[in-house]
Amino acid sequence: MESQNKWSMKMSKGLDMEIIHHPPKMRSVVNLIIAMERLKAADMFEFRDEELLSFMRESIIEERVVFETTAAPTQEYIKTEESLCMVNDTENKSLYWVPNNMELNAIILQGGADTCRAHMSMSTYVHPAPPVETQIVALGIRNTNYFLSCHKDGEVPTLRVELVEDKDSLQRISSNSDLNRFLFYKTVTGVNISTLVSVRYSDFYISTALENNRPVELCQDSAPRYRSLVFEQLNKNSGCERQL
Ligand SMILES: *[C@@H]1O[C@H](CO)[C@@H](O)[C@H](O)[C@H]1NC(C)=O
Ligand SMILES: *[C@@H]1O[C@H](CO)[C@@H](O)[C@H](O)[C@H]1NC(C)=O
Ligand SMILES: *[C@@H]1O[C@H](CO)[C@@H](O)[C@H](O)[C@H]1NC(C)=O
């Protein structure tokens, strides 16, 4: 290291050479140089050991402030894969969608009325720093441009089925973009069972009512609603005449 010579030349009695032999982190190097410059300006030989130490410490603490003020990097959610599924709550109420409606309902369907169930496509996203043990997903209605999204209706976050002009806009979503309304943290809580929490309103879950045939909504932890959802994988080729 070229600076080693330079440092040695500047080095005066009372500064330990060892700091240089262990390659320090860049910040330490900078701090040390700053401290050295200050020491050069002062009359070194008038310092007692403890004065020298506190001088060094002061310099290091002061400069640390400067080096830690870096801006948080913008993060991006990037879509990686897509799978097909149908969703129930844990009471066998099936998510059901009437075309062009702005909401899903949860309905007990009798005798294998599967064609009435909403066939969903679930997109999975990668993110540089997802919360531990969760996936980031977006949920759309299969073969449509409709996606579940979270909005604030007054003070209360609500769930909507929203028409997206351009599906490609959901391919990459910046973490501070408005499009984060389409994203959910999916946490697996049992075999084929997960909860879905809004990325935008981070303590609001997709949930169904205790009663039959009510809208699927967002709710908090304490609300008397069902937050566990049962996912049933759909085969890519499974026919579905009723879907658009
Ligand atoms: C849900 O349906 C399955 C069969 O389709 C049944 O075995 C199960 O007991 C039902 N669960 C509830 C909570 O009704
Ligand atoms: C979902 O609920 C329907 C009844 O609405 C039932 O037939 C089906 O077996 C349930 N699926 C799962 C995976 O629990
Ligand atoms: C979980 O889902 C898979 C695929 O949809 C299915 O084969 C399996 O039987 C399910 N397991 C339970 C416990 O429901």
pTM: 0.71
Ligand nearest to the CA of 230: 2
The rounded mean pLDDT for the chain is: 78
Q: DSSP 3-state assignment of 221? A: coil
pLDDT value at residue 54 = 67
Q: Is the CB of 92 under 6 A from ligand 2?
A: yes
* pLDDT higher than 90, residue 135: yes
187-201 burial string, b = 16+ CB within 10 Å, else e? beeeeeebbbbbbbb
Which of 41-55, 118-132, 141-155, 194-208 is predicted least confidently?
A: 41-55
Our answer on whether the CB atom of 37 is closer than 6 Å to any ligand 1 atom is no
**Is the CB of residue 232 below 6 angstroms from any atom belonging to ligand 2?**
yes
Render the burial of 97-134: b for 16+ CB within 10 Å, e for the rest. beeeeeebbbbeeeeeeeeebbbbbbbbbebeeeeeeb
CATH number of the domain at 76-234, out of 2.80.10.50, 3.90.960.10, 2.40.110.10, 3.40.50.300? Answer: 2.80.10.50
Q: Is 207 in the pocket of ligand 2 (CB under 6 A)?
A: no
Residue 90 CA: which ligand 1 atom is closest? 13
Domain extents for the chain? Answer: 24-66, 76-234
Q: How far is the CA of 111 from the centre of ligand 2 (A)?
A: 10
Q: Is the pLDDT of residue 68 over 70?
A: no
Return the ligand number nearest the Cα of 191: 3
Minimum mean pLDDT among 34-43, 174-183, 193-202, 208-217: which range? 34-43
Q: What is the pLDDT of residues 138-150, one digit of tens each?
A: 999 999 999 999 9
Comparing 114 with 135, which gets the higher pLDDT? Answer: 135
Most confident range, picked from 151-155, 222-226, 237-241: 222-226
